[in-house]
């Protein structure tokens, strides 16, 4: 939080705060007929179907303000919602943002949070059209709803995977999880001796993956240009294995994925070893990478074959073949979905 200036929220009040949020917000979509300022936002008619998704983030459960700066948090809160819209193969258009604040937060802190929100709104070309602001007795609570649109036939559900489809993932996996391990470790070091400065310089990629995730809208736009609709799609928020289980269940199929095809960054690999963790377990079960997991029909493979950031990790099988990981020495082992346990 900004130490230079601190304005208590009570000096400008809830409406003053909302005014400030509104002043820093611009509307880009013709469909955003009315944004912040009335009892409800008004969204214009469109011949496309709409997707709507909400995510709630609680301090102490989903984020820790001792290592995520507020501006990053604002960006990330929007990005994780955009990622859910992307996972439907839709284009995000609007978000609403609700925040519950304790008196620990100043006006400047809220402004910093919204700087991140507005940066994300620019980056993903979406409008902030409303929200709610209220007091919290404990930590910061953020709830974001994102709206997106697509042609009906462009929507990718979890249920559309077919036997022999190719399983694709974007980017690399496990980095956000390893980044979190590093941030947690350095926090403990700092708590036990505040004179110790956190050593994060050696882990720029993975700490960035944790603090500054980017929803893969770039891939969604590319798929559109290629005229390719994935047969099924999800974003990877809870871990690859867990998301594969969702697709298997919704599509009534099995999967076979290959250990040597799983995309991992070298820093993720090295850090996993440093923490005495199995790198493959991190790739399979680490959450919060916000990459895309999707399946395509084999006939679409040539369109993506040369893509530098899409990896083909396996194929869809009949449901009775189960969910298999083929290890480097060609042994088939049952895939386990540990995922993130929130409760
Ligand atoms: P109400 O009392 O009807 O809930 P509010 O005074 O909470 O209305 O909200 C007034 C306007 O400001 C609405 O358009 C609402 O969507 C918007 N708004 C409130 N809080 C936020 C926020 N944190 N971020 C963005 N817009 C907000
Ligand atoms: Mg309200």
Measured from the CA of 39, which atom of ligand 1 is nearest? 3
Contact between 171 and 289 (Cβ < 8 Å): yes
Cβ atoms within 10 Å, residue 208: 17
Is the four-CA dihedral 337, 289, 301, 329 of positive or negative sign?
Answer: negative
Measured from the CA of 41, which atom of ligand 1 is nearest? 14
Q: What is the pLDDT of residue 33?
A: 95
Q: What is the pLDDT of residue 311?
A: 98
Ligand 2 (single-atom ion) residues, CB below 5 Å? 132
Cβ of 326 less than 6 Å from ligand 1: no
Buried-state track 30-65, b at ≥16 Cβ within 10 A, e below 16: ebbeebbeeeebebeeeebeebebebebbbeebbeb
* Closest of 43, 300, 66, 45 to residue 167, by C-alpha: 300
Buried-state track 286-323, b at ≥16 Cβ within 10 A, e below 16: bbbbbbbbbbbeeebeeebeeeeebbbbbbbbeeeeeb
SS3 label, residue 246 = helix
Tell me the pTM: 0.93
Cβ of 97 less than 6 Å from ligand 1: yes
Is the pLDDT assigned to residue 1 strictly greater than 70? no
Ligand 1: residue of 132, 141, 144 to mutate (most ligand atoms within 8 A of CB) is 132
Q: How far, in Å, is the centroid of ligand 2 from the Cα of 137? A: 17
In whole angstroms, give the CA distance from residue 75 to residue 80.
9
Cβ of 325 less than 6 Å from ligand 1: no
The pLDDT tens digits of the residues spanning 180-208 come to 999 999 999 888 888 877 778 899 999 99
In whole angstroms, give the CA distance from residue 117 to residue 113.
6
Q: How far, in Å, is the centroid of ligand 2 from the Cα of 11? A: 19
Q: How far, in Å, is the centroid of ligand 1 from the Cα of 322? A: 48
The pLDDT tens digits of the residues spanning 90-134 come to 999 999 999 999 999 999 999 999 999 999 999 999 999 999 999
Cβ of 130 less than 6 Å from ligand 1: yes
Ligand closest in space to the Cα of 38: 1
Ligand closest in space to the Cα of 133: 1
């Amino acid at each position: 939080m900004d130490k230079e200036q601190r304005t208590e929220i009570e000096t400008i009040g809830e409406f003053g705060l909302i005014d400030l949020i509104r002043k820093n917000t611009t509307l880009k979509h013709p469909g955003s007929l009315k944004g912040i300022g009335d009892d409800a936002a008004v969204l214009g008619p469109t011949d496309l179907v709409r997707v709507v998704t909400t995510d709630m983030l609680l301090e102490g459960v989903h984020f820790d303000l001792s290592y995520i700066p507020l501006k990053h948090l604002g960006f990330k809160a929007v990005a994780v919602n955009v990622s859910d819209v992307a996972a439907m193969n839709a284009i995000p258009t609007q978000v609403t943002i609700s925040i519950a604040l304790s008196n620990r937060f100043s006006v400047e802190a809220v402004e910093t949070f919204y700087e991140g929100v507005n940066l994300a709104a620019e980056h993903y070309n979406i409008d902030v059209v409303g929200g709610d602001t209220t007091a919290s007795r404990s930590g910061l609570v953020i709830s974001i709803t994102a709206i997106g649109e697509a042609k009906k036939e462009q929507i990718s559900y979890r249920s559309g995977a077919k036997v022999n489809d190719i399983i694709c993932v974007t980017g690399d996996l496990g980095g956000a999880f390893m980044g979190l391990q590093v941030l947690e470790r350095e926090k403990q070091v700092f708590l036990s001796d505040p004179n110790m400065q956190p050593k994060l310089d050696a882990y720029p990629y993975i700490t960035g993956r944790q603090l500054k995730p980017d929803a893969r809208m770039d891939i969604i736009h590319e798929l559109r240009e290629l005229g390719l609709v994935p047969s099924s799609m999800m974003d990877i928020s809870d871990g690859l294995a867990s998301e594969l289980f969702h697709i298997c269940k919704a599509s009534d199929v099995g999967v076979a994925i290959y250990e040597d095809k799983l995309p991992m960054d070298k820093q993720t690999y090295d850090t996993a070893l440093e923490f005495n963790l199995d790198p493959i377990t991190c790739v399979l079960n680490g959450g919060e990478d916000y990459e895309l997991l999707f399946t395509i029909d084999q006939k679409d493979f040539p369109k993506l074959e040369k893509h530098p950031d899409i990896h083909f990790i396996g194929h869809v099988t009949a449901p009775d073949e189960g969910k298999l990981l083929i290890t480097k020495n060609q042994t088939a082992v049952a895939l386990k979905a540990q995922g993130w346990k929130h409760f």
